[in-house]
């Protein structure tokens, strides 16, 4: 049985990268699988601990989920801190994972900057909490952007080490599930969760710098298209997007050394449900001055309705809260089930 889990941090305005890399996929998956989507508020404390708008931003991400088409009748939608078992399982995983594993994470290196000794312990342990988010529901599939690939590998390493370290107890309790790890068939408690990363926009780049990913936390607002931007702002940001002086190439191979061009073509492809090759068939040989207005129109057509829905839903915070409360109850019941077994496996006294 497949179970999908993913999350977004309430660290600011959602952008086109979040939409194409994550939200758009969340929506497609809810018709096919059981899905759990979380607003990972505990994770956001690793960015800014003192966070005046945390509650508002948490509701904002939930509103964006709903506006993009997530249906609380199909998917479980909740905020992480409402289910305390996320933090509890993360603690156990902190004791499973090794410091060296965390030190190697590129997200940690990027976000900690030069003064790593002064980064918070939470930022270092971020992937451990992420593993807990996923494995608390024993999720098998995780739709994410390309930047989260390394964290998913670490999630599998944690699952595998836990399964291994406690294999005797898991067998004794008879709660193992058969799974394939490499060439081996093993029995384990936590599944080897697979990332779902595909399509032309798994890593949408900054509009100002084709080598940096588009991020909520980038100080330059011109670097990203926010889901909350109006039509004029979207058009202006695309017009100002960095490009090279050459016309668009005829085939996708020639995009390789042209990160800005590759990015804009990829965005067009993802928004229109086509491949980059399809787009270049149409626009190869044309100038960016021709391409940008068409891209802007497409972005406005796709994002405009989501923007409108977000405003409508955000005007009713009580409704958003009720969705999160209900989702939290449903997630919490599943989390409790898993943690009961984890307590048994680890040998924590339950009486
Ligand atoms: P922050 O800068 O605060 O880390 P973020 O933009 O990276 O913010 P997250 O909440 O960390 O957003 O990630 C939410 C989801 O969006 C994740 O699945 C992540 O992989 C995906 N994502 C983030 N940025 C991009 C991007 N530029 N392109 C595609 N997917 C992305
Ligand atoms: Mg991020």
**Could you tell me the residue ranges of all domains in the chain?**
3-197+317-346, 221-313
- Dihedral angle sign, alpha carbons of residues 128, 130, 136, 142: negative
CA of 280 to the centre of ligand 2 (A): 30
Q: Are 21 and 266 in contact (CB under 8 A)?
A: no
ipTM for this model? 0.98
Could you tell me which residues come within 8 angstroms of residue 330 by beta carbon, excluding any fewer than 6 positions away? 76, 78
CA of 186 to the centre of ligand 1 (A): 33
Name the CATH architecture for the domain at 3-197+317-346.
3-Layer(aba) Sandwich (3.40)
Whether the CB of 148 sits within 6 Å of ligand 1: yes
Active site residue 216: yes
pLDDT at 180: 82
Q: What is the mean pLDDT of each run of 10 residues along the chain (351 residues)?
A: 95 94 96 98 93 94 98 98 98 98 97 95 98 98 98 98 96 91 88 94 96 91 96 96 96 94 96 95 96 97 96 97 98 98 95 75
CA gap 165, 159 in Å, rounded = 10
What Rg, from alpha-carbon coordinates, does the chain have? 21
Counting Cα atoms < 13 Å in the Cβ hemisphere of 165 gives: 16
Catalytic one among 73, 74, 109, 111? 111
Identify the CA nearest to 303 among candidates 128, 68, 127: 68
221-313 placed in CATH 1.10.240.10? yes
Q: Which helix (H) or strand (E) holds 291?
A: helix 288-314
Whether the CB of 21 sits within 6 Å of ligand 1: yes
Active site residue 240: no
């Amino acid at each position: 049985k497949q179970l999908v889990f993913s999350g977004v941090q309430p660290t600011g305005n959602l952008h086109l990268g979040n939409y194409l890399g994550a939200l758009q996929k969340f929506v497609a998956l809810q018709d096919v699988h059981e899905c759990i989507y979380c607003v990972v508020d505990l994770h956001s404390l690793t960015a800014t601990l003192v966070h005046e708008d945390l509650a508002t931003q948490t509701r904002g991400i939930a509103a964006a989920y709903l506006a993009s088409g997530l249906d609380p009748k199909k998917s479980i939608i909740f905020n992480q801190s409402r289910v305390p078992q996320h933090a509890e399982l993360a603690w156990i995983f902190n004791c499973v994972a090794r410091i060296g594993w965390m030190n190697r994470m590129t997200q940690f290196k990027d976000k900690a900057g030069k003064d790593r000794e002064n980064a918070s312990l939470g930022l270092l342990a971020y992937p451990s909490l992420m593993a807990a988010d996923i494995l608390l529901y024993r999720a098998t599939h995780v739709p994410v952007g390309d930047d989260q690939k390394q964290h998913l590998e670490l999630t599998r390493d944690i699952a595998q080490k836990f399964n291994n370290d406690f294999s005797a107890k898991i067998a004794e309790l008879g709660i193992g599930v058969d799974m394939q790890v490499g060439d081996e068939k093993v029995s384990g408690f936590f599944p080897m969760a697979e990332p779902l990363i595909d399509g032309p926009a798994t890593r949408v780049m900054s509009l100002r710098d084709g080598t940096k990913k588009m991020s909520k936390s980038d100080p330059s607002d011109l670097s990203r298209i926010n889901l909350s931007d109006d039509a004029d702002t979207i058009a202006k940001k695309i017009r100002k997007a960095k490009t090279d002086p050459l016309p668009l190439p005829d085939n996708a191979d020639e995009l390789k050394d042209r990160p800005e061009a590759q990015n804009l073509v990829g965005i067009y492809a993802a928004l229109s449900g086509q491949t980059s090759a399809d787009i270049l068939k149409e626009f190869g040989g044309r100038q960016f001055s021709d391409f940008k207005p068409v891209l802007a129109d497409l972005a406005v057509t796709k994002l405009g309705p989501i923007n409108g829905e977000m405003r409508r839903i955000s005007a009713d915070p009580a409704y958003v809260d009720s969705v999160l409360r209900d989702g939290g109850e449903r997630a919490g019941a599943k989390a409790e089930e898993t943690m009961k077994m984890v307590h048994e496996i680890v040998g924590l006294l339950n009486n």
